[in-house]
Structure 1
Amino acid sequence: MKEFDVVTVGDINPDIIFTGVKRTPGMGKEVFARSVYISIGGGAANTAIGLARLGLKVALVSTIGKDMFGLNFLKLLEKEGVSKRYIKVQEKVNTGITVAITDENDRGFITYRGANELQRLEDINDELIKQTRHLHITNYSPDQKQRFMEISQIAKKYNVTISMDVGWDEAEKWDKGIMEALKKVDIFMPNEYEARGYSGKDDIYEALYYLSDYARINVIKLNKKGSIACDEKKAIVHAEGFKVESVDTTGAGDSFNAGFIYGFLNGRSMEQCLIIGNACGALSTTSFGGPAGFPNEKQLMEFLHRNKKLMGR
Structure 2
Amino acid sequence: MKKVVVIGAAVIDVLLKSKSLRVLKSHQVEGGVAMCEVMGGKIEAENGILVSGGGGTNVAVGLHRLGEAVKMISRVGDDELGEILVKELVKENVDLSFLQRTKGKTGISAVLVATDGRRSIVTYRGESGEIERNEIDWEEIKKADWIQISSLGGEVELLEDLVNFAVEHGIKVGVNPGKKELGQKERMLRLLPKIDLFNVNRMEAAEFWGGNFEEEEVLVGKFVKAGTRLLMITDGDRGAGVWKGGKWIKMEAYPNKSIDDTGAGDAFVSGVVAGLLQGRTAEEVLKMGLANGGSVVTRLGAKDGLLYKKEMEKWMKRKLKTVEETLGVL
Q: 1:284 to 1:167 in 2, by over 3 A?
A: same
Q: CA RMSD in A?
A: 2.2
Identical-pair percentage: 26
Q: Is the 8 A contact 1:168 1:194 kept in 2?
A: yes
- Deviations 1:61-102, CA, capped at 9 Å, x for gaps: 0000111111122222122111000111111x2100001112
The answer for unaligned runs of 5 or more in structure 2 is 23-35, 321-330
8 Å contact kept, 2:154–2:178: no
Who is 1:236 aligned against? 248
Matches within 5 A, 1:198-277: 198-202=208-212, 203-212=215-224, 213-231=226-244, 233-277=245-289
1:165 to partner: Cα distance: 1.0
Q: State whether structure 2 residue 52 is matched by structure 1 residue 44.
A: no
1:296 and 2:308 aligned = yes
Q: What pairs with 1:75-154 in structure 2 (closer than 5 Å)?
A: 75-91=87-103, 93-103=104-114, 104-140=116-152, 144-145=156-157, 147-154=158-165
Letter of the 1:87 counterpart: L
Report the secondary structure of 1:113's partner residue.
strand
Aligned residues: 302
Aligned to 2:195: 185
Q: 2:72 aligns with which of 60, 63, 79?
A: 60
Q: Is the counterpart of residue 9 in structure 1 residue 7 in structure 2? A: yes
Unaligned runs of 5+ in 1: none
C-alpha deviation, 1:150, in angstroms: 4.3
Which range moved further: 50-59 or 126-135? 126-135
CA change 1:85–1:143 in 2 (3 A) is: closer
TM-score by length of 1: 0.89
Query: Could you say what secondary structure the match of 1:290 adopts?
Result: coil
Q: Which runs of 4+ in 1 moved over 6 A?
A: none
Q: Is the 8 A contact 1:148 1:181 kept in 2?
A: no
Q: Give the distance between the partners of 2:201 and 2:233, measured in 1 at CA.
A: 5
SS in 1 for 2:256: coil
Is the CA contact 2:55–2:151 (under 8 Å) kept in the aligned structure 1? no
Displacement, 1:168?
Answer: 2.9
Secondary structure of 1:163 counterpart: strand
Superimposed CA distance per residue, residues 168-207 of structure 1 (whole angstroms, 9 cap, x where no aligned partner):
349x956443111222211111111111111222122321
- For 1:147-162, list aligned pairs within 5 A: 147-162=158-173
Q: Deviations over 1:91-134 (max 9, x none)?
A: 1x210000111233421111111111211455443213311110
CA contact (8 A) 2:153 2:180 kept: no
Per the normalisation by structure 2, the TM-score is 0.85
State how far apart, in whole Å, the 2-side matches of 1:299 and 1:123 are. Answer: 37
What SS does structure 2 have at the residue aligned with 1:151?
A: helix
Structure 2 residue 193 is matched with structure 1 residue 195 = no
Deviation at 1:302, TM superposition (A): 1.3
In 1, distance between residues paired with 2:155 and 2:90? 32
Question: CA contact under 8 A between 2:14 and 2:110: conserved in structure 1?
Answer: yes
